[in-house]
Amino acid sequence: MLQPLFIAGPCVIESAEVLDVVAQELARLRDKYGLTLYFKASFDKANRTSIHSFRGPGLEKGLQMLADVKARYGLPLLTDIHESYQAAPAAEVVDVLQIPAFLCRQTDLLVAAARTGRTVNVKKAQFLSGLDMQYPVEKAREAGATEVWLTERGNSFGYNNLVVDFRNIPDMLRFTPRVIMDCTHSVQRPGAAGGKTGGNREYVPAMALAAKAFGATGYFFETHPDPDHALSDGPNMIALNNLEALIAKLIER
């Protein structure tokens, strides 16, 4: 049985100060509980609801800010890429390249990520079943990826809402031993907040514990010191000061 890993961090790189506050707490939790914990933040959120939404500092500046976090706290890094040209420069800094859910069928993006030699984390699209994820895994492996993870983040069955079918977790475990539950994006209400995404962060702990019951081998949390004032995905992010209690429950035997 694999030990669970954790992925956590702010949705998007807002500032060096926010990165530092979050990374300091994550490093403390890593050391206290002996966790395998990856720091996550996006240098560019290309899939925002509105053209006026904050997207981040961009590739070059964002990767430098992530590199600073790694140097200061020794946390391995994960970030998402949206275009093939971003794979190689991102791979020089981060340990895991993440393929966004809406892009998980994009062959060129998967191949570019796989060819870097980094671990590739593919988020399951909101319109696919767990069993459908066999094919993105095959694409990445045949392109040279040595380690491929899959992440569950819910399905769209109606307007402005997501539903999680937890059977997707054991289904995806057929293709890779590392299946991660995205506990915060799965409580999103896409486009439901007047030109931005809403969410129900109060359901995040239940999502995580249900995923544990279905055999998840990793957990993904977007977290922020002040989610109500975060620049992206605030309604579904867990407050940084609430993260420790949830992690402690998830690692209980």
Q: What is the pLDDT of residues 49-89, one digit of tens each?
A: 667 677 888 999 999 999 999 999 999 999 999 999 999 99
Using CA atoms of 1, 136, 144, 211 in order, give the dihedral in degrees to the nearest 10: -20
What domains sit in the chain, N to C, each tagged with a CATH number?
A: 5-250 (3.20.20.70)
C-alpha 35, offset from chain centre: 17
DSSP 192: -
pLDDT of residue 133: 98
Query: CB within 8 A of 204, min separation 6: which ones?
Result: 183, 184, 187, 221, 236, 238, 246
Mean pLDDT of 109-135: 97
Q: What is the pLDDT of residues 166-220, one digit of tens each?
A: 999 999 999 999 999 999 988 877 654 445 566 788 999 999 999 999 999 999 9
Contact (Cβ atoms closer than 8 angstroms) between residue 4 and residue 218: yes
pLDDT of residue 188: 76
Residue 45: pLDDT band (50, 70, 90) is confident
Q: Which residue reads 């140097």 in tokens? A: 71
Rounded CA separation 84/146 (Å): 19
Mean pLDDT of 209-236: 92
Rounded CA separation 5/180 (Å): 8
Output the CA–CA distances (angstroms, integers) from residue 173 to 81, 131, 148, 149, 210, in the order listed. 24, 9, 11, 10, 16
**First-last CA distance in the chain:** 13
Instruction: Quote the pTM value.
Output: 0.93
Q: Which residues of 8-45 are buried (b: 16+ CB within 10 A; e: fewer)?
A: bbbbbbbeeebbebbbebbbebbeeeebebbbbbbbbb
Residue by residue, DSSP assigns 100-166 as PGGGTT-HHHHHHHHHTTSEEEEEPPTTS-SGGGHHHHHHHHHTT-S-EEEEE--EEEETTEEE--T
